[in-house]
């Protein structure tokens, strides 16, 4: 099988390529330039070491539109984005997948810690958590569809990060031990600098949960729900951002207890099977990547879903994704639009 490995220059994709080549596949390395072209020489060095064909796809224009603009516009709208989810859907397993297929590849592989399975009876593909719970990246992949999953391989899904580093050492792959990719590849320093280069942030008032003005803020993009530091307010007890209102340009500040909510609603909902539940559905859900899975019930609500949690969740944040699981299987997810119940 001819497999295009999405080679970034890091250890995960490098070991993935080495394992697939060792298994007898024809491996082609595909590197994208999405922001900083400095990754291409490192990937080329690894491809040369592995003795595999190497191609570079310049996707800077599409990345700017689909990821960077989305990131900035979401913050300017008073929400907190997750650009990695967007990139996986539109860039890595969108345009870069298409590029690899045009090269004649049958499938693409990446160094993500997740697993893909196919049900022999239904023919449907499913996405599952990676074996290494500390590195599992299934949360970031919930927007993938059946067409994409049938073309993707995750060679590291049943491995731990420790094992991957051991393999890299054994195979003498030229990667720097311990080096990890930065969380947001296009941010160097403070993300707010990128946003303020594009638009003027409008200062406004900070109010408490009773609506009393207690301070001023520099502009909604400078803050996020759950934030404690940087409010510039002297109070008898710690204050946290519990909500941000774009209609009034207000930041709502409250105590620790005000951060906990039991319900949310989400839009842009995607289910990996392509079939949305028609009735309430028990799941486990998480409201951000590092959050724990929590028991919840999904309620379909027109083009949205309402999610009721068995236990209140801390700092539910608009713009982040709520992702639904059944055991280790990812069912899908959506973009958090608010707390409570949606208005019809």
Angle, CA 311 vertex, CA 322 and CA 138 arms, to 5°: 30
* Cα 155 from Cα 157, distance rounded (Å): 6
Are 43 and 200 in contact by the 8 Å Cβ rule? The answer is no
- Residue of 72, 84, 105, 185 with catalytic role: 185
Q: Which residue, 76, 71, 319, 62, is CA-closest to 186?
A: 71
DSSP string, 98-112: HHHHHTT-SEEE---
Quick check: is 84 catalytic? no
- Residue of 72, 87, 105, 201 with catalytic role: 87
Quick check: is 87 catalytic? yes
Distance of CA 101 to the CA centre of its chain: 24
* Cα 135 from Cα 160, distance rounded (Å): 8
Are 253 and 243 in contact by the 8 Å Cβ rule? The answer is no
Q: Phi and psi at residue 3, in whole multiples of 5°?
A: -120, 130
Active-site positions?
A: 87, 185
């Amino acid at each position: 099988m001819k497999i295009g490995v999405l080679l970034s220059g890091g250890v995960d994709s490098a070991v993935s390529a080495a394992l697939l080549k060792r298994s007898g596949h024809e491996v082609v390395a595909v590197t994208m330039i999405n922001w900083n072209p400095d990754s291409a020489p490192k990937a080329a060095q690894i491809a040369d070491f592995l003795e595999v064909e190497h191609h570079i796809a310049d996707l800077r224009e599409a990345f700017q539109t689909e990821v960077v603009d989305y990131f900035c516009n979401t913050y300017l709208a008073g929400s907190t984005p997750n650009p990695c989810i967007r990139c996986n859907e539109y860039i890595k397993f969108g345009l870069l997948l298409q590029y690899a297929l045009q090269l004649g590849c049958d499938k693409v592989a990446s160094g993500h810690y997740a697993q893909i399975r196919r049900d022999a009876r239904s023919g449907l593909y499913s996405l599952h958590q990676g074996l290494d719970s500390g590195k599992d990246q299934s949360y970031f992949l919930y927007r993938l569809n059946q067409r994409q999953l049938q073309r993707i391989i995750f060679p590291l899904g049943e491995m731990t990060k420790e094992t991957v580093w051991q393999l890299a050492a054994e195979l003498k792959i030229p990667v720097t031990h311990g080096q990890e990719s930065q969380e947001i590849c296009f941010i160097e320093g403070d993300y707010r600098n990128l946003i303020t280069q594009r638009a003027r942030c409008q200062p406004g008032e900070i109010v408490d949960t009773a609506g009393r003005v207690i301070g001023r803020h520099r502009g909604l993009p400078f803050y996020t729900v759950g934030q404690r530091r940087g409010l510039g307010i002297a109070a008898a007890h710690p204050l946290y951002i519990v909500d941000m209102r774009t209609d009034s340009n207000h930041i709502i500040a409250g105590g620790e207890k005000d951060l906990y909510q039991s319900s949310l609603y989400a839009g842009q909902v995607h289910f990996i099977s392509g079939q949305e539940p028609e009735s309430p559905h028990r799941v486990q859900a998480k409201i951000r990547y590092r959050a724990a899975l929590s028991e919840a019930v999904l309620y379909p609500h027109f083009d949205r879903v309402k999610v009721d949690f068995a236990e209140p969740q801390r700092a539910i944040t608009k713009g982040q994704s709520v992702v639904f699981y059944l055991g280790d299987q990812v069912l899908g997810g959506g973009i958090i639009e608010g707390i409570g119940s949606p208005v019809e």
